[in-house]
Amino acid sequence: MVAGTVSSKGQITLPKRVRDALGIEPGDALDFEVRGHEFVGRKKVLTESGIDWNSVYGVVNLGDLTTDDIMRDLRPIRAWDDQ
């Protein structure tokens, strides 16, 4: 477990070990969730389409997006994929 301290302004500094493990860089957006007496923080991941897939639960109307569009957003681009 990694410890931190809350400043008088309510700010926390994420330890380098945590930032490195999650790939968090200055300016990245984070989401926080309260679970009982805990909070969980995660890096907000926006895709090319601008959808934050971490926040999508259940069935959603995605408009004109096709399954191929969704899969392209969810997986990394590989060298052999058509660009």
SS (H, E, C) the chain: CCCCCECCCCCECCCHHHHHHHCCCCCCCEEEEEECCEEEEEECCECCCCCEHHHCCCCCCCCCCCHHHHHHHHCCCCCCCCC
Higher pLDDT, 45 or 18: 18
The model carries a pTM of: 0.50
Per residue in 32-76, pLDDT (tens digit) is: 889 899 988 888 776 666 666 666 656 567 778 887 887 777 776
**In which band, very low, low, confident or very high, does the pLDDT at 4 lie, cut at 50, 70 and 90?**
confident
